[in-house]
Amino acid sequence: MTLDQLILDSDGRFVTVDFVKKDGSLRTLTGKLGVKKYLKGGVSTLDPNQYITIFDVRKMAYRAVNRSTILRVVKDGVEYK
């Protein structure tokens, strides 16, 4: 199973993701999929084959994670690299 698939299969549970941002810096976020409370309308223009949109619970904002830059995922207390 790939790292991006682990995130997609999290079923609304919290995951921690380490990835490389567009500017080349490293980022760690803890969040979950399926959060709709903070949506303001509109449609995402991001390619879902390239990006995963996840709600960052520390920043209280949606973030786009490039699937090809994911380095590590922690799901249910288990670390995957």
Domain that holds residue 21: 3-80
Contacts of 38 (CB under 8 A, 6+ apart): 55, 60, 61, 62
Report the CATH number at residue 56. Answer: 2.30.30
Band of the pLDDT at 41, cuts 50, 70, 90?
confident
Whether the per-residue pLDDT at 24 is higher than 90: the answer is yes
pLDDT of 72: 98
pLDDT of 44: 86
pTM, two decimal places:
0.90
| Each residue's pLDDT tens digit, 30-40 | 999 999 999 98
Q: How many domains does the chain have?
A: 1
